């Protein structure tokens, strides 16, 4: 389940970045275009938020809410 969630987040992140880069190219904002392209080349790094409950067990994002 965690792998599936990470893949979904990665796809969403990549799609948003590509749309942003396309928009910058249309507006001819070259400097920002190259900056965003560099960020895209570095890749996606998923962040997880974990907390401990009163028993000391780790809780994931879904359990926290």
Beta-bridge partner residues of 52 = 58
pLDDT band at residue 56 under the 50/70/90 scheme: confident
- Could you read off the pLDDT of 16-45 as tens digits, one per residue? 989 999 999 999 999 999 998 888 888 766
3-state secondary structure of 47: coil
pLDDT band at residue 53 under the 50/70/90 scheme: confident
* pLDDT of res. 24: 93
Alpha helices in the chain (DSSP H): 2-26, 30-42, 61-64
**CA 15, 59, 7: angle at the middle one, nearest 5?**
20
Range of the domain at 45: 2-64
> CA 54, 56, 62, 63: dihedral to nearest 10 degrees?
-40
Please tell me the total count of domains within the chain.
1
pTM check: above 0.75: no
């Amino acid at each position: 389940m965690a792998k599936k969630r990470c893949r979904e987040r990665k796809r969403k992140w990549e799609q948003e970045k590509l749309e942003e880069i396309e928009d910058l190219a249309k507006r001819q904002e070259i400097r920002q275009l190259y900056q965003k392209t560099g960020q895209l080349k570095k890749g996606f790094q998923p962040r997880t938020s974990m907390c401990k409950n009163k028993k000391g067990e780790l809780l994931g994002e879904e359990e926290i809410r």
